[in-house]
Amino acid sequence: MKLLKVTIVLLIIVSAAVAMAAEKQILFREDFRSLSNWDPLHFPKIKQHSTYTIGKVDGRSVLKAESHASASAIVCRKTFNVHEFPHMRWRWKVDNVYTKGNSRDKSGDDYPIRIYVMFQYDPKKADFTEKLSYSVAKTIYGKYPPHSTINYVWMSQDIAERVITSPYTDKAKMIILEKGRSKVGTWVSETVNIIEDYRKAFGKEPPATASIAVMNDSDNTGETAISYLEYIEVYK
């Protein structure tokens, strides 16, 4: 009996240690039960904003992102070090894609859903030209824009490339995870390595500090789309 009690205690200790180790692997997880951790992001000259609400799909709490010839995003208040926590995973779904979507041209640069990883600008590591341009941007917008971004996108068109450059700026790279209509209406799970994708996209190491944003935009195509995000997780 005494041996049994000792065995049970040891199992409890081991189980607790395993659980604590697993928790340390995950920096944070957003299950979208509310938007308390998120702030809206509006863009200059775009008056029509996309909407982001919490809803229920198949009994699960999800983020519903909806655009009608609109564009705006929501940004997570939490930042993280991508070198310490380089992995992300999430589950998303789109109800439709855009008939006029064209990722190589500004007139079609819309996605029914995208997840940004926005890398923070560090003036201590910038050259003179960068410092000047970012200082001007801060004067206009009240804060520094991102140093660079990678956008994990659900693309409307079916193309061969996995990485493309935004038609607006070479500081934004699109990582194409899903494309076309074949999985419309289906929940899809994604897992990415931020550092590896940044290296492939930019050919160098990413800045350390980053934050996450979610966007559904259709201001260029003038179309409508609804998409959903069940959760996002950042982990080791």
A 10 A CB-CB count for 102 gives 18
CA distance 19 to 141: 44
Q: What is the pLDDT, as a whole number, of residue 139? A: 67
- What Rg, from alpha-carbon coordinates, does the chain have? 20
The yes-or-no verdict on residue 103 having pLDDT over 90 is no
Identify whether 57 is part of a domain: yes
Identify whether 63 is part of a domain: yes
CA distance 80 to 27: 8
Identify whether 4 is part of a domain: no
Nearest residue to 29 via CA among 189, 230, 227, 216: 230
CA distance 113 to 66: 9
Domain that holds residue 196: 28-235
The total number of structural domains that make up the chain:
1
End-to-end CA gap in the chain = 41
**Residues 184, 187, 193, 199: what is their CA dihedral angle, to the nearest 10 degrees?**
10
Identify whether 157 is part of a domain: yes
Identify whether 11 is part of a domain: no
Identify whether 166 is part of a domain: yes
pLDDT in tens, 180-218: 999 999 999 999 999 999 999 999 999 999 999 999 999
Identify whether 101 is part of a domain: yes
pLDDT in tens, 17-56: 434 444 579 999 999 999 999 999 998 889 999 999 999 9
pLDDT in tens, 118-164: 999 877 777 777 777 777 666 666 667 789 999 999 999 988 899 99
Identify whether 61 is part of a domain: yes
Q: What is the pLDDT, as a whole number, of residue 3? A: 55
The yes-or-no verdict on residue 14 having pLDDT over 50 is no
Query: Between 10 and 174, where is the model more confident?
Result: 174
Average pLDDT score, the chain: 88
- In CATH, what number is assigned to the domain containing residue 101? 2.60.120
